[in-house]
Chain A
């Protein structure tokens, strides 16, 4: 149980275009999902918290107009990287919290999406 998927797993796009990444909780409902960014050989940095039915909250320094987050249902959150530039190339990882679980600080992670902007 507690499986989180991401799509696509790998994407290449041209500079200036937008890319959408999907994060789905497959066997549980997630009122809260999180988006992280991981640079090569570095740790995960929390970008934003996605709340079902409300606006995402962004960590300090993260441009909300560049990284658009939508959490339209209890099983799906999307991250759209708008007007992508080469410096946006990174590994993007989502996680989800089980809404029915009492273990409120336990997160289940997706496999990640590698974005390369050329």
Chain B
């Protein structure tokens, strides 16, 4: 069965410093992986997705993620955090049998001034 594990429930970084949100996945074959962001009282927005093309995926707002099959990881990074990046981030994997998606438990990103 497919699953994603977000290794940190909360991450705090100072504005202007790098961001790393960790995600490990489990899938029986090559998965589709996504990162979504959820700002308070707003819907989910797709940041980026991996679908077996390039392993380094660039997304919106300066975010990127690297698919590492050997490590079964899909960590989200950003070189320099901005206050507006404070939000909940979800790592998501597609379900093999029907392409539905499974959410990780989320990581709350806090940006310190």
What CA separation (Å) do A110 and B45 show in the bound complex?
9
What CA separation (Å) do A34 and B42 show in the bound complex?
17
Contacts beyond the supplied A105-B94, A110-B43: 11 A-B pairs with Cβ under 8 Å: A34-B100, A43-B105, A43-B106, A44-B44, A44-B90, A46-B101, A93-B43, A104-B99, A105-B51, A106-B46, A109-B36
Instruction: Determine whether B49 belongs to the interface, using a CB cutoff of 8 Å to chain A.
Output: yes
Interface size, chain A (Cβ < 8 Å): 20
Given the known interface contacts A42-B105, A43-B105, A105-B32, the answer about A49 and B42 at a Cβ–Cβ threshold of 8 Å is: no
Complex partner residue of A111 from B32, B43, B94, B103, CB under 8 angstroms = B43
Q: Are A107 and B101 in contact (CB under 8 A)?
A: yes
Within 8 A of B (CB), among A21-63: 34, 42-46, 49
